[in-house]
Amino acid sequence: MQKHPDLAHRKLRYGVSHQKFKKLWIELSNIANSIDGAIKSTKGWIKFWSDKRRSIMIKHKQIENGKLMGSLSPLEQKILDLCENKNPGRSKKGVKQEPCDDDDDNDSLDDIFTKAVENDFDNQMFANEAEERQLNTMEKLVDVMGQQATAMSQMAQAAMDNSKALERLAEASHIQALAVDRLATTFETISSSIHDVRNALLGIDYTMKRCYSTTATQPRQNTNIFS
């Protein structure tokens, strides 16, 4: 404030351009936020300074009128001195500069000027918020697309695993079919062997019957011979 008294004293700062006023306040806000303590927006620091300046002026009047005992602190006195500072370069000859705390018109103009600046900051803040919301939406969209890509990759992996499982099942079915075929061949071989054994048994039975028949008729022939 000592470096840029136009910010401290409402009456002096009307000659300051709108853009310069905003630039100086942004610079001051950055300096204030870089110090340990409260962190505020530029709009917040403007309001803080306005409230602080007004409260110190009221306190100073109360002390002068004997309504309040004590005195201003060194810091409060510096703020008051900045507020009551005169700018000779802007004063007209023969016209007395009134202290800023007694100038009601300046209070009104100060509020109007501050509101105009605050509106600019609000518009800028709204634009920043809109841009931030858009960025957040884009980030969410990217996240959703990433999740979709992951889901598609998982689905592709699951389909590949399913395909491999089907291949293994088909291979197992083929092996099972070969085993059944071998088993059928074995049964056919066993059936053929059983048939051969049956034929052999029939042959043996036939031979035994023939032998038995020949043996049974032999004594009868001998009897006939001797008789």
Burial (CB count within 10 angstroms: exposed 0-12, middle 13-18, buried 19+), residue 21: buried
pLDDT of residue 94: 39
pLDDT of residue 124: 64
Model confidence pLDDT, tens digit, residues 103-145:
444 444 455 556 656 666 666 666 667 777 888 888 888 889 9
Whole-model pTM above 0.75? Answer: no
pLDDT of residue 88: 39
Yes or no: say if 112 and 32 are a contact pair by the CB < 8 Å rule: no
pLDDT of residue 105: 42
pLDDT of residue 132: 77
Rg (CA), the chain: 57
pLDDT of residue 33: 93
What are the residues whose beta carbons fall under 8 Å from the beta carbon of 219, sequence distance 6 or more? none
What are the residues whose beta carbons fall under 8 Å from the beta carbon of 83, sequence distance 6 or more? 8, 9, 53, 56, 57, 99, 100, 101
Cα angle for residues 171, 176, 181 (degrees, 5° grid): 125
Domain residue spans of the chain: 1-88+98-102
pLDDT of residue 82: 83
pLDDT of residue 4: 78
CA 181 to CA 187: how far, in whole Å?
Answer: 10
pLDDT of residue 207: 82
Residue holding tokens 């403007």?
Answer: 46
pLDDT of residue 119: 65
pLDDT of residue 225: 45
Tokens found for residue 127:
């634009």
Segments of the chain scoring below 50 in pLDDT: 12, 87-109, 224-227
pLDDT of residue 30: 92
pLDDT of residue 118: 60
Amino acid at 140: K
pLDDT of residue 100: 45
